[in-house]
Chains A and B, each alone.
Chain A
Amino acid sequence: MTPGQGLTEADRQLLNAMQEGFLPVPNPFKEIGARLGLTEDEAIAELRRLKESGAIRRLGAIIDSRKIGYTGTLCAMKVPGERISEAAAVINSFPEVTHNYVREGEFNVWFTVLALSAARIQEILHTIKRETGIRELLNLPARRIFKIRVSFDLEGER
């Protein structure tokens, strides 16, 4: 599979332009469309379709959660294979848990928590341990961010 497989060339161009960002102007989609030779209506229809199809997970303001008072962490848990879905049900029940992945290795369930206080995070982790009975849980908050880039180059780079 190559980057952007299943997308047309026009889709790739539009997604790359959107990843570069749009401006706080009255008609931002008209402006994006103009860069690509699309009308505003065409750009809007394509963006709605790409959101519907799942290629776009989110469209809008990318917020720096720390700047508005949120605090986050990454946690890793050692969950026996046969208990993963049960543990995930407990972990995922908190709206503050934003991502949760199974990864290879002895610590196999990795999730992120975003909340308004460190105390709330502690409370959530405590509840997860209590409800799952699993004690092996690492809390690995970030100390320093060197890079966050959420865009993917869909037009070859390889």
Chain B
Amino acid sequence: MTETERRLIAELGENFPIEPRPFAVIGARLGLTEDQVIALVKEFMARGIIRRLSVALRHQNVGFTANAMVVWKVPPERLEEVGKMLASFQEVTHCYERETAPQWPYNLYTMVHRPHRGECLAIAARLSEAVGIKEYRVLFSTAELKRSNPQYFTERG
């Protein structure tokens, strides 16, 4: 990736202008034309570097105050099937297989954000029923200590 491409990624991700011609504004910052910026964005989207142009909402501010990480202990031979099944639920926003540790046997992680804790618990119970995995824990967040946007290719990059 060239230096210009790196700077463009940083601008597109962190300093996107909420203005009538945003790609022209970004281009002016980097010495590119609007057309060049748009062409690069399309290329990054085609390569999967940019997933989407979109918004990320602060879930607490839009009413989804209960944040549950549900961790599952899934037999290795069922991981693929269970991971895909859990991911297919609309209520599940994230679904990852992760490494385990001797004192932490859970290997599949799902995130559920809902307005109330009770709803998260009910959803977890429904997921458990659907995949037939009984060993799971619902870990609610009780405080946010940090939530920052990823800083790509900034001074530390």
Contacts and interface: CB of A to CB of B under 8 A. Distances in A.
Contact of A67 (B16, B47, B149): B47
B115 A1 contact: yes
A54 B65 CA distance: 14
Given A48-B18, A67-B47, A140-B104, A55 B58 contact: yes
Contacts of B63: 1-7, 154
Interface residues of B, number: 81
Interface in A97-135: 97-105, 107, 109-111, 114, 116
Interface in B39-55: 41-42, 44-45, 47-55
B124 interface: no
Given A102-B145, A138-B101, A19 B157 contact: no
Chain A: interface residue count, which band?
35 or more
Contact of A62 (B20, B56, B62, B95): B56
Interface of B: 1, 9, 12-16, 18-24, 34, 38, 41-42, 44-45, 47-59, 61-65, 67, 69, 79, 83-84, 86-87, 90, 92-101, 103-104, 109, 113, 115-116, 137, 139-154, 156-157
